[in-house]
Amino acid sequence: MRHSVAGWVPTPSSQGQKSGPGYLMSTEYTIATYNCENLFSRPGIFEESDAKSRELLAMVDQLKAELKKPVFDHDEISRLSRALSKYATIVDIRGKAASAKGAADWLGYVSLDKVCLEDASAKNIARVIADTDADIISLIEIEDRLTLKGFHHDILYPECLKPEGKEPYPYIMCIQGNDGRGINVAVMSRLPIRWMQSHVHELTEKNTPLFSRDCLEVNFALSPDTSLHLLINHFKSMGYSSGNDPQGNRRRLAQARRVAELLEEHNLGREYVVVAGDFNSPPASPSLAPLLDNENMYNVSEELPEGRRGTYRTGKDQLDYILVSDALKKNIRDVRIERKGIYTPRGEKYETVTNRRTEASDHAAVVATVNV
């Protein structure tokens, strides 16, 4: 199912000037992909001191107890609600707690309000994204759209983009995928999104989800008559598989084959098509052959010396990719790997990346600039 994205606003870019509402006149665009290693929110209660957290959680328990009573004490419910402002919210499903006589007249629950983590790792993620300065960036391991939007509005733009004179991302999208842990793919863009299509519903022959998260297709407007088509992927992880990973390889092969089928819908010699994300296998893996052996798609990292293509940890293995169609391959202007968010004993990193806890991610970002 395609999801059209409404809302049409001018989109200024650090890459060039505007040419009419929502379009960029410049022919140079930067595309990036980045695995953020779990950009999640968490209840704001847990951002307080231990003593304060325990006090607030005790009040949450009191509020829940009040809402189970046959006769509501509205003064006490109001008092607890005010005390828990910004930390917890009463969610009404049937009836309203504020006016119900008691539990028999009301159905609902108490929800802990979440905040985006404003710790060192989140701020280092923001530094990496800002340093890519991408017009379109595919993001991996994102909790949901609201978390990503909060991260952009509260950390990325005010602390990293704005001070450097870089433009924000007015188009922020994420669709819930198949991973029950809330690990999803997402996109942020300075270019208008025309439409999106999710493939979360597709099944294997065993009636299980084909994609571990999703293959999210996003169509962007480069001009009134020109589009760029992006397919964002996060293939089956290697983290929970056996040594030689036969099951994982089979699943990644099936996922790669399906993405290759979707590419057949495009004229890759004329259309601007990009496949990006974390494929969770090195280029030599047979599981990626349907994509990497496609003669009409090109792994932009091949523009770099072989020893500089790695994206995971020490940079030995390439797991993250940007593949471009022939129509874009001839217009590649620059390719780089942004590694400064990874903690390694050696190698360049941000001064704020001091250990594994403070690193932005265990992945590097892949960045490609093209002229169209």
**Could you tell me the two tokens for 144?**
């949901």
Provide, rounded to the nearest whole percent, the portion of the chain with pLDDT above 90: 83
Cα separation, 112 vs 90, whole angstroms: 9
Question: For position 119, what pLDDT does the model report?
Answer: 85
Q: DSSP letters of 158-178?
A: IIIIGGGT----SEEEE---S
| Cα gap 36→338, rounded to integer Å | 13
Model confidence pLDDT, tens digit, residues 181-229: 889 999 999 999 999 999 999 999 999 999 999 999 999 999 999 999 9
pLDDT band at 115 (very low <50, low <70, confident <90, very high): confident
Provide the token pair at 4. 């059209």
Pick the CATH number of 2-40+119-371 from 3.60.21.10, 3.50.20.10, 3.60.10.10, 3.40.1260.10: 3.60.10.10
Residue 291 banded pLDDT, cuts 50, 70, 90: very high
String of b and e for 147-179 (b: at least 16 CB within 10 Å)?
bbbbbbeebbbeebbeeeebbbbbbbbbbebbb
Residue range 153-175, pLDDT digits in tens: 999 999 999 999 999 999 999 99
Q: Would you say residue 280 has pLDDT above 80?
A: yes
- pLDDT at 12 (0 to 100): 38
For the cut 80, the answer to whether the pLDDT of residue 3 exceeds it is no
What are the φ/ψ torsions at residue 145 (nearest 5 degrees)? -65, -40
Q: What is the mean pLDDT of residues 257-265?
A: 98
Among 203, 134, 146, 209, CA closest to 175: 146
Domain residue spans of the chain: 2-40+119-371, 43-115
For 59-82, the pLDDT digits (tens) are 999 999 999 999 999 999 999 999
- Average pLDDT of the residues in 105-133: 93
Average pLDDT for residues 45-52, to the nearest whole number? 91
pLDDT tens, 318-343?
Answer: 999 999 999 999 999 999 999 999 99
For residue 7, pLDDT beyond 70: no
Share of the chain above pLDDT 70, in %: 91
What are 235-253's pLDDT values in tens digits?
Answer: 999 865 555 677 899 999 9
Q: What are phi and psi of 212, to 5 degrees?
A: -60, -35
Q: Quote the pTM value.
A: 0.86
If you average pLDDT over residues 38-57, what whole number do you get? 92
Q: What is the pLDDT of residue 10?
A: 35
Q: Are 214 and 173 in contact (CB under 8 A)?
A: no
Confidence of residue 312 (pLDDT cuts 50, 70, 90): very high
